[in-house]
Amino acid sequence: MSPQFARKLNILFLFMICTPLIGAYGIQFIAGEFPCPLCLIQRLGMIGIACGVVMNLRYGIRPMHYGMCIISAMFGASVSIRQILLHIVRAPDNHGYGSPVMGMHLYTWALLIFAATILILGILMLFDNQYDSKETSMNPKQMPKIATFAFWLVLTITACNVVTTFLECGINQCPDNPTSYLMLQ
């Protein structure tokens, strides 16, 4: 796999990891479902994956950037598993957190995304030719416009996550089952 093709795959992967983050915001604002603390941590895991991919685009494809993505995915997967285990036993008062999307809760989808990320990155790391690029970093002005757009999308999602988490939780611990933005009351 050439370094140019690997860069294109990283751009595609960046958009793919942004999709569930944007979808989560859609559910948060359109459906009015507030994310729980574990949901917020899962978003953080996805943002960590996106940061590793952005580093690949900016500083060149490196195994350590893929490693950062895999560590973030493992972290997010462990949080997703924790939340699944909280709701795994069906009980009259335990229907899971939030409304299901296509039959599964968002934390279950998050686990599938984290597992797919680990698998995809493991496969990508098998191709040594992608690391043969002579450039150690790329001038932001030389980056393809789509990569620049993807970078700004990730930055915007990250900033929105910081702001909405602060509005929901303030500087205190987030409530277990949030029902409003604490900072807007």
pLDDT score of 160: 93
DSSP-based three-state secondary structure for 125: coil
Two structure tokens written together for 81: 């598993």
Q: Based on C-alpha coordinates, what's the Rg of the chain?
A: 18
**Per-residue pLDDT at 137 exceeds 70:** no
**Per-residue pLDDT at 141 exceeds 70:** no
**Per-residue pLDDT at 139 exceeds 80:** no
pLDDT score of 88: 80
Q: In angstroms, rounded to a whole number, what is the distance separating the alpha carbons of residues 149 and 152? A: 5
Better-predicted residue by pLDDT, 51 or 90? 51
Query: What domains are defined for the chain?
Result: 3-184 (1.20.1550.10)
User: Which among 59, 60, 67, 51 is positioned nearest to 13, based on CA atoms?
Assistant: 51
Instruction: Please say whether the dihedral angle defined by the alpha carbons of residues 56, 61, 65 and 67, taken in this order, is positive or negative.
Output: positive
pLDDT in tens, 167-179: 988 888 888 877 7
Yes or no: say if 7 and 131 are a contact pair by the CB < 8 Å rule.
Answer: no
